[in-house]
Chains A and B, each alone.
Chain A
């Protein structure tokens, strides 16, 4: 009985820890995303971005966004904020996949990895 209770308690604690990790991931992702968008907006309002920096960094595509953002391209910062926002739910799926794998809960870990594959497919189809 005591063993059962302690097993239940540790399972509950593991679940709570996982929920806290997911909550932290979502909070961080959302905060970072909004911060990047506010920064981008500030750059655009100051008139330092888009035109000049886009000429210096004409690279297109998602991978060029961080580079353009680092050079003060306001539009790139806005776009990067949106990309971070889109990646936030994917990050929480990854956290759960790894967390359940660590708890040897292979069934749900596999399910989470399947969802990650579907999200990756969406990125590939979007960029293709």
Chain B
């Protein structure tokens, strides 16, 4: 395979993933499958390695900014890792066509989220102040729960979920955002499902986790996105070992794609200031629907 072309594809998918906020896997797998005729299981194996790389690169920045909640991430990683192992082992048993159909089905909600998403939504979610004392006193906050404090962070450990609450400095709003965690069971359940999808299809699963953490668990959007990215590396690694061990990761074409995706994610982060408006997201959403239909057709043997 042409190394330069693979590198360019990696850069393009990495940049698209960063601009559109979906991760590159949803673009990379169809390109490898339809463009380079890589078998489905190998395309998933390659994609999962790129997910590890981009998640690692992005998590570094989030940790430096203090937005990722490490304790919450680690707790949910138990569920995502079990899910990833389940998904990875299931993928080994499933025929390629079945995987293609499942992947095509997952592209549809991804396209829907992309269609609805506003520019920079995950980065610039404006907290809705609910009073400085609520987070500290343990009052139940309306969802999505976001409390600004700057005075007393929710650090009085009582219940386990209290210890998963956290705060971070918002550089845009110039104040500390404190939040309490709710419905841990919901976070664990969705994380398990996201882990299964990640292990099965080689995607990050952020499209499931971020909305769930925000809406169900009350984590502010910015912290939810950062914590999800922090978790994705471990989730992807859990199934990557399986794919690598089963010989479904070919270093000769996976390496250039991984390097390209890492570079592309940096390029995308830069481009994000200029492009990524609603129109661009909607064009890509339509493109994803087209790809989904083609993969449905392939999976069902119509193409």
Q: Give residues of chain B (16-67) contacting chain A, Cβ–Cβ below 8 Å.
A: 49, 52-53, 55-57, 59-60, 63-64, 66
The interface residues of chain B, by DSSP majority, are classed as helix
Given A88-B233, A107-B163, A122-B241, also A82-B251 (CB < 8 A): yes
Contact for A126 among B64, B234, B246, CB less than 8 A = B246
Q: A90-B237, A96-B70, A119-B238 are in contact. Are A83 and B78 (CB under 8 A)?
A: no
State which residues 1-23 of A face B: CB under 8 Å. Answer: 8, 11, 15-16, 18-20, 22-23
The answer for the CA separation of A23 and B244 in the assembled complex, in Å, is 25
CB of A93 to closest CB in B, whole Å? 6
Q: Does B255 have its Cβ within 8 Å of any Cβ on chain A?
A: yes
Q: Is the interface of A mostly helix, strand, loop or mixed?
A: helix
Contact A115 B52 (CB under 8 A): no
Least Cβ–Cβ distance between A105 and chain B, in angstroms: 9
- Asked whether, in the complex, the Cβ of B160 is within 8 Å of the Cβ of A8, the reply is no
Q: State how many residues of chain B have any CB contact under 8 Å with chain A.
A: 50
Tier of interface size on chain A? 35 or more
- Specify which of A15, A26, A122 is in contact with B242 (CB 8 Å cutoff): A122
Shortest CB-to-CB span from A45 to chain B, Å, is: 8
A76-128 contacts to B, CB under 8 A, are 78-79, 81-83, 85-90, 92-93, 96, 107-108, 111-112, 114-115, 118-119, 121-123, 125-128
**A78-B251, A82-B258, A85-B53 in contact; A22/B63 too (CB < 8 A)?**
yes
Contact of B171 with A by CB under 8 A: no
Query: What is the distance, in angstroms, from B178's C-beta to the closest C-beta of chain A?
Result: 13
Cβ–Cβ < 8 Å partners of B70 in chain A: 15, 18-19, 22, 96
Asked if B256 is an interface residue, CB under 8 A from chain A, the answer is: yes
The chain B residue sitting closest to A24, CB to CB, is B60
Top-8 shortest CB links A-B = A126-B245, A78-B251, A89-B233, A118-B81, A122-B241, A79-B251, A126-B241, A37-B255
